[in-house]
Amino acid sequence: MHELSICQGLLRQLLPIAAKHPGRLIQVVLRIGPLSGVEAALLQAAFPIAAKGSVAAEAELVIEHCPLRVRCPLCDAESEASANDLRCGDCGNQQTRLTSGDELLLLSVQFSEESNHV
Amino acid sequence: MCDSCGCNITPGNQHLPQRGEAVAVLQGLLAENDHQALHNREHFDRHGVLAINLMSSPGAGKTALLEATIARLKDRYRIAVIEGDLETENDAERIRAQGVPAIQITTGSACHLDAHMLHHALHKLDLENIDLLFIENVGNLVCPAAFDLGQRANVTLLSTTEGDDKPAKYPLIFRAADLVLLSKIDLLAVLDDFDPAKAEQHLRNLASSAPMLSLSARSGEGMEAWFEWLAQQKCSHQAVNRRSKL
Ligand SMILES: Nc1nc2c(ncn2[C@@H]2O[C@H](COP(=O)(O)OP(=O)(O)O)[C@@H](O)[C@H]2O)c(=O)[nH]1
Ligand SMILES: [Mg+2]
Ligand SMILES: [Zn+2]
Ligand SMILES: [Zn+2]
C-alpha cells in the first residue's frame, strides 16, 4: 500500500500551484489507468488523511479512469484489453503495444472564485 | 442539452469547472520519484555500475539467488548489494557473509523501495569500485513495480511454490520484468501443479517478450544461463556507456 506516499507526493506537487493562485483549492483531478500500479479506491481513501491541514484540505479528489487499449503491430488494429490479457482483440497477437492504460497523471486543479487572502 | 439545468454534465465531464479557476497541470504523479531515479541512473552510468533490481513475493528466493550468484561471480565482477526489507538486517548479513558489501535499507512500513531511499544508500557505497550492483527490493508483488529506482534492468522471480498463474494476477510486476526467473525448480518434481509452460503463457499474454529462465539456487540447475544473461547485460551496458561518452 503506497497510496498514502503517493498522496503526499501529490500534495508537494500542489504546493507551488496553490501558491500562484488566490482562490481556495476545491478540486484535484487525476487520471489513473488500470496498469498504473495505483489503486484508485485506495488513493481516494488515503487522500483526505494526507490532505488534512494542507492546501488541499478542502479539495475534492476526482479520479478519471481510462481504458486499457492496445495496438497490434501485425494487423494495426486497436482494441480494448484487460490487465492480464493484452493480446490483440482482432488477431490474437501477443506482442501488442499499450496505447492507453498506464497513466498516472495530475490533470488539473480547480480554485474557488473567492479569495483566500481577504 | 443546455447549460443551465445540468443535463450536459456527463460522467466524463462532471468534474469540469462550473466557475472559479481551473488550472491544467498534466504532470506525472510520480514525477518526484522519476526525477530522482534519473539522477541515480546518471550516478550508475558515470561509474560504470550495472544496477539490477530484483523483485518477487517474500520468500521466492531472491537472497538465496544472490548468495549463489556472488559465490560464483565475485572473482569476475566487483559486486555489491542493496537490501530492502521491512525490518531486519538479516539479508544484508547473509550477503556480507559472501564477502561483498551490502547496505540494508529498512523501509519500516513502506512496502517498496523508492528512488530517494536508494539514493541515500548509494552514498554509502564506493561506486567507483563496483561493477555489478544488485538491488533486492522488498518482497511484494504489487508496489515495487510502480517505482523506478534508476536500475538498468528488472528481474522478477516466480518460485515454483507460488503457482503458475502469478503473472496473470500481478500483471504489472511481470510486465516490468526484463527477465523472469522461475526459481526453486528443484521442487518441480514434488509440485505437480506448477506448469512452467503455463507460467510462460500468462507472461506472453502481458505482451512481454522478456526471456524466462528456470533455475535453482539450491541445486545449481539452470544457473549458467542466468550468469550468461548477466554477462550480456554487463556487455551491452558498457557499449552504451562508451558510445554516450564519445
Ligand atoms: N528448495 C529450494 N529452496 C530455496 C531455493 N532458493 C531459496 N530457497 C528457500 O526459500 C526460502 C526463502 O528464500 P530467500 O532467499 O530468503 O527468499 P527472499 O525472501 O526472496 O529473499 C529459504 O528457506 C530458502 O532456503 C531453491 O532454489 N530451492
Ligand atoms: Mg531476501
Ligand atoms: Zn508500496
Ligand atoms: Zn492484430
Task: Enumerate the residues of chain B whose CB falls inside 8 A of the CB of residue A87.
Answer: 205, 207
pLDDT tier at B242, thresholds 50, 70, 90: confident
Ligand 1 near B84 CB (within 6 A): no
**Residue B93 confidence (pLDDT) above 60:** yes
- Specify the pLDDT at position B8: 46
Of B240 and B102, the structure prediction assigns the larger pLDDT to: B102
**DSSP code of residue B75:** T
Written as nine digits, the cell of B201 is 503463457
CA distance A103 to chain B (A): 8
Rg of the Cα atoms in chain B? 21
Domains of chain A: 1-64+102-118 (3.30.2320.50), 67-100 (no CATH)
Residue from A44, A43, A81 nearest B175 by CA: A81
CA distance B238 to chain A (A): 28
Mean pLDDT of B203-222: 98
- Specify the pLDDT at position A116: 52
Counting every residue written for chain A, the total comes to: 118
The domain segmentation of chain B, as residue ranges, is: 22-244
Q: Which residue has the cell 522488498?
A: B138
- Specify the pLDDT at position B12: 54
Q: Which among A27, A83, A94 has the least Cβ separation from residue B15? A: A27
Sheet of A104-115, strands arranged across: A60-65, A23-32, A104-115, B21-28
**Residue B1 confidence (pLDDT) above 60:** no
pLDDT tier at B111, thresholds 50, 70, 90: confident
| Ligand 1 atom showing the smallest separation from residue B60 Cα | 20
**Residue B209 confidence (pLDDT) above 70:** yes
Mean pLDDT of B130-148: 95
pLDDT tier at B19, thresholds 50, 70, 90: low
Determine which residue's CA is closest to atom 19 belonging to ligand 1. B59
pLDDT tier at B169, thresholds 50, 70, 90: very high
Determine which residue's CA is closest to atom 23 belonging to ligand 1. B59
Tell whether A71 lies on the interface with B, counting CB pairs under 8 A: no
Of the given ranges (A67-81, B6-20, B105-119, B202-216), which has the lowest mean pLDDT? B6-20
Domain B22-244 annotated CATH 3.40.50.300: yes
Provide the mean pLDDT of chain B: 91
User: Concatenated DSSP letters for B14-67?
Assistant: TTS-SSSEEEEEEEETTHHHHHHHHHHHHHHHHTT-EEEEEE-STTSSHHHHHH
Give the C-alpha separation, B227 to B120, whole Å. 29
The list of chain A residues with pLDDT below 50 reads: 117-118
Q: B146: CA distance to ligand 4 center in Å?
A: 28
Name the packing angle between helices B31-46 and A3-19 (round to 10°): 100
Q: What is the ipTM of this complex?
A: 0.87
pLDDT tier at B118, thresholds 50, 70, 90: very high
Give the C-alpha separation, B229 to B233, whole Å. 6
**Residue B155 confidence (pLDDT) above 60:** yes
